[in-house]
Chains A and B, each alone.
Chain A
Amino acid sequence: MFRKPRFWLLVFTLAALIFNFCHPFDIQLPHISLAAEKVATIGGFPITNTLIASWVTMAVLIVVSVLATRNMREVPRGLQNVVELVVEKLYGFVESIAGPHTPLIFPTIATLFLFIIVSNWMGLLPGYLSIVVEHAAPSAHEGAHAVEKVPLLRSAATDLNTTLALAIASVLMSQVYGVIVVGFPQYFLRFVNIRRPIAFFRGLQGRGPRTGVGSLLFGFIDLFIGVLELFDEFTKILSFSFRLFGNIFAGEVLLGVMVFLFPFVASLPFLGLEIFVGAVQAFVFAVLSTAFIAQATAHHGAEAEAHEEQSVPQPHVVSTVGQGT
């Protein structure tokens, strides 16, 4: 019985569990603050700990990509091999959603994905939230400067400002790609869709195929749908930013509470859960950005023409042939 490893594993687990409840250390529930803490102020511009963490993330990404591409070889080795593997997998994945526009949109998607996943995983490293600096906070009382202790680093996505910036960047880039692919005025017809009224009045003037009054009615519905599309863009920003912020912040709170309840061993599985959540959130952000950009670049051009050809039999062909002859 004492030779079996299973027995000793059981003993160790029980001992760890018991030790979790009666240990001599004084472990406190970590201070939870929704807003990022100020670490320093440079010329009136507050430097928060999440801002420093995002700079560290950027530095890591830049250093890794410089190191990986310094001595590029035909047959990759070492770091270059790893980075190529990641980029290739990501490229294939984006291609499976976005199709032919992949070379255009891949840099944006890959940047978002890599930044989010690296910052989420780095936020789990020891040192984040545990290295504390003293910051002289100007308190509400006059003259008195209270010294408070704030963590130097805190995972970048636990600040709503960071995730909001990422969300705005993603949605703005989908507009930019839409303009690039679909064309300048055509893209914004998505929000102010006046195709049908124009076709109607052209028909009245005899400069195009006649369309019924019903199409004018549908024109109003199109306008309303355009307003909905516009609201949809803002909803995207909101849900992007809240989803990422909520998941990562909740993860941090969860880890803090678990360490408070079970300081040893038993809190480890939650670290694994957070690694998974960090990767899934980066993946979801990338998937949704790709889907929205694909939607913005692929719309109307093909879709609307197919639609018109169905409802009105070959209007363009007839008119151009008529003008040509």
Chain B
Amino acid sequence: MTPDVLRNIAAGLTIAIGGMMPALAIGRFASEAMRSLGRNPESAGPIASNLIVAIAFAEAIAIYALVVALAIKFV
């Protein structure tokens, strides 16, 4: 295996594994938010804004993985 092939594999694995966990986290956030919306529909506003912030936190992990993957691939 040449270094280029290894580099491609490493970049792919980085974003694949690094994208998996945040996806699970975001799924949990969303399911909990939907559940609480079902219980208490009036609180849609605060739940939505808090949900976006929480999702952004979880998504940041995926973005770190993406930055690392891009660095492996292109730098």
Known: A32-B70, A34-B71, A284-B56. 17 other contacts (CB 8 A): A32-B74, A34-B75, A242-B60, A242-B63, A242-B67, A243-B56, A243-B63, A245-B67, A246-B60, A246-B63, A247-B59, A249-B67, A249-B70, A250-B63, A250-B66, A281-B56, A284-B53
Check: A33 CB closer than 8 A to any chain B CB. yes
User: When the two chains form the complex, which single residue of A245, A253, A283 contacts B52, counting CB atoms closer than 8 Å?
Assistant: A283
Number of interface residues of B (CB under 8 A): 14
Taken together as a complex, chains A and B put the C-alpha atoms of A34 and B64 apart, in Å, by 14
B52 touching A33 by the CB < 8 A rule?
Answer: no
Q: Which residues does chain B contribute within 8 Å of A239, judged by CB atoms?
A: 60
- Shortest beta-carbon distance from B35 to chain A in Å: 23
Taken together as a complex, chains A and B put the C-alpha atoms of A253 and B71 apart, in Å, by 13
Q: Which residues does chain B contribute within 8 Å of A283, judged by CB atoms?
A: 52
- Shortest beta-carbon distance from B45 to chain A in Å: 10
Taken together as a complex, chains A and B put the C-alpha atoms of A287 and B59 apart, in Å, by 15
A246 touching B67 by the CB < 8 A rule?
Answer: yes
A residues near B (Cβ < 8 Å) are 32-34, 239, 242-243, 245-247, 249-250, 253, 280-281, 283-284, 287-288
Q: Which residues does chain B contribute within 8 Å of A250, judged by CB atoms?
A: 63, 66, 70
A-B contact pairs, 21 of them (CB 8 A): A32-B74, A33-B74, A34-B70, A34-B71, A34-B75, A242-B60, A242-B63, A243-B56, A245-B67, A247-B59, A249-B67, A250-B63, A250-B66, A250-B70, A253-B70, A280-B52, A281-B56, A284-B52, A284-B53, A284-B56, A288-B53
B63 touching A247 by the CB < 8 A rule?
Answer: yes
Taken together as a complex, chains A and B put the C-alpha atoms of A247 and B66 apart, in Å, by 9
B60 touching A243 by the CB < 8 A rule?
Answer: yes
Q: Across the interface, name the chain A residue whose C-beta is closest to B15.
A: A250
* B34-75 interface code vs A (CB 8 A; 1 in, 0 out): 000000000000000100110010011001101100110011
